[in-house]
Amino acid sequence: MALGSTGGCRALMGAPDVDYARAYPRAAPRGDVLDVQVFRADTMLTMTNSTSRSFGPSTLWVNERFSRPIDAFASGQTLKLDLYEFRDQYQDQFRAGGFFATRDPDPVVLVQLETGAEDGAQELIGFVVVSNEIN
**What 3-state class would DSSP assign to 6?**
helix
Region of residue 14 (phi > 0: left; psi between -120 and 50: alpha; otherwise: beta)? left
CA distance 53 to 67: 21
What CATH number has the domain spanning 19-133?
A: 2.60.40
Q: What is the pLDDT of residue 10?
A: 42
pTM of the full structure? 0.82
Q: What is the pLDDT of residue 9?
A: 43
Q: What is the pLDDT of residue 35?
A: 93
User: Of 90, 83, 65, which Cα lies nearest the Cα of 10?
Assistant: 90
Q: What is the pLDDT of residue 122?
A: 82
Q: What is the pLDDT of residue 50?
A: 94
CA distance 105 to 81: 16
- Residue numbers of the chain with a pLDDT score lower than 50: 1-12
Model confidence pLDDT, tens digit, residues 108-130: 999 999 987 555 668 999 999 99
Q: Where are the domains of the chain?
A: 19-133
